[in-house]
Structure 1
Amino acid sequence: MARAETFSRSLRLFVDRTLSPEALRAEMARRAIAARDELIARGEAPPSWRRYVDGKADAPEISVRLDGAILYRFNLTGEAVQAGLDLCRSTSPTRSGKFRDSWVVLCDDKLWKQPLKDLPASATILIVNPLPYARKIETGALEPRIRRNQIERVRQGLMRRFPTLNFGKLFVRLGGGIAPQAPYLLRGASGERRTRAGTLMTYPALEIRPRE
């Protein structure tokens, strides 16, 4: 897969000025569509995109001004989420494999069960592990031998790979229906948790959203 900036480039086309204005616009549209489809066919861009013609969203290519531009903004959300899931799983502790296999995707706070490629580009995505000890793993409180800040390390890796998206690390509360174990009620057995007994746990999550 090519670098992310490839997916957000303006297709400025220069054609034979001896053609009529209508023929010029048709040729510009044809070349833009061909270039877009070639990127997708080579696997350098995802098949989901939005078109901007002279800055106007969803306008047809044929409406381009002779001195204008046709821009395709490809939806990298699904690819970024898949990469994030893969990294979260591959860097998870694997004593039993339960934690590794429990990562889920939330789209605008709702559990996403459809193919990742269908995630909308405008949505806010969370990758989160709903197991009760997810926070302890992230903060290093479970076992000293388990490396802490897993989500932060994943976030930094994705930032370098997908510079056109925003990535954040949050601690979020989960609603019901996401997983049988969530939301988890803190019991306040000792230490920090004693003062928080009876409150809902916040879970470390990786946030993925479009740039403003």
Structure 2
Amino acid sequence: MARFDTFERDLKLATAGMEPAAISAALAKFARAELAKAIAAGASPQYTRFVNSVEGAAEETVQVPGSILYVFSNWPLVINAAKAELVKRSPRRTGRYAGSFMVIVGGRTVATDFSKLRPDAEVIIFNPYPSTRKIETGYNGPGRRHFDAAKNALSARFGAAFKIEMKYVEVPGGISPLAPYRLKRTTKRRAAGTALTYPALVINAL
């Protein structure tokens, strides 16, 4: 893989003696070509573009000396890692619970293609099983604090790029036939019919 300092040196040689407008056009063409190569090599097609530090500006507006920066979404990496951390800490008696973690973005489920998520999306990962609260608090034994422990592991790995929190969240209807679960009878803390909140990982890019 070529180094960025090599790209910079080659670009300077290629644009030597050119007018500023021509250099800007050459830099824009070069940036687009490198972007296409990166996506073809597996980078996310979702990215934020900064031209001379201006978000969303077109490549052709670059003023030399200046820069064109693409910030790619790393959602597939962090979401798949989050699900793996949760699965390995889950009770495995039948495997149904471990295989039921769901990803929600903007109130809708996202099953597999996380590469198309916007860089500024908020990702929520939860399990619709009503027993998820008891598992997290240790009531059922295996799986105690599986969300909290997964949060700690992910923060250690991705904390420089993502804010990862463990929260109890409300789950809207229509996400899963299992959720939201409503209490059948009144307890000391909640009235019958109250929708349970669910332990979840809430992830935002920094």
Equivalent residue of 1:156, what SS? helix
- Residue 171 (str. 1) matches residue 168 (str. 2): yes
Between the aligned partners of 1:160 and 1:53, the Cα distance in structure 2 is 32
Task: Show structure 2 runs of 5+ residues with no match.
Answer: none
Equivalent residue of 1:100, what SS? coil
Q: 1:158 aligns with which of 151, 154, 161?
A: 154
Q: Which residue of 2 aligns with 1:210?
A: 205
For residues 1-212 of structure 1, the aligned pairs below 5 Å read 13=8, 15-16=12-13, 17-43=16-42, 45-113=43-111, 115-143=113-141, 146-162=142-158, 163-187=160-184, 194-198=188-192, 199-211=194-206
Between the aligned partners of 1:69 and 1:106, the Cα distance in structure 2 is 35
After superposition, the CA RMSD in angstroms is 2.5
- 8 Å CA contact 1:46–1:76 kept in 2: the answer is yes
| Percent of aligned pairs sharing the same letter | 32
Between the aligned partners of 2:54 and 2:127, the Cα distance in structure 1 is 40
Give per-residue Cα distances to partners, 1:106-151, cap 9 Å, x unaligned: 11233334622222222211000011110111111212xx142211
Q: What is the CA distance between 1:99 and its match in structure 2?
A: 0.4
Q: What is the CA distance between 1:204 and its match in structure 2?
A: 0.2
Q: TM-score, normalised by structure 1?
A: 0.79
Give per-residue Cα distances to partners, 1:77-122, cap 9 Å, x unaligned: 2332222123222322110111011111111233334622222222
Q: What is the CA distance between 1:29 and its match in structure 2?
A: 2.1
Q: Which residue of 2 aligns with 1:3?
A: none
Equivalent residue of 1:195, what SS? coil
- 8 Å CA contact 2:166–2:199 kept in 1: the answer is yes
Equivalent residue of 1:88, what SS? helix
Equivalent residue of 1:153, what SS? helix
- 8 Å CA contact 1:173–1:202 kept in 2: the answer is yes
Q: TM-score, normalised by structure 2?
A: 0.81
Task: Show structure 1 runs of 5+ residues with no match.
Answer: 1-8
Between the aligned partners of 1:150 and 1:209, the Cα distance in structure 2 is 20
Between the aligned partners of 1:156 and 1:18, the Cα distance in structure 2 is 54
Equivalent residue of 2:29, what SS? helix
- 8 Å CA contact 1:13–1:31 kept in 2: the answer is no
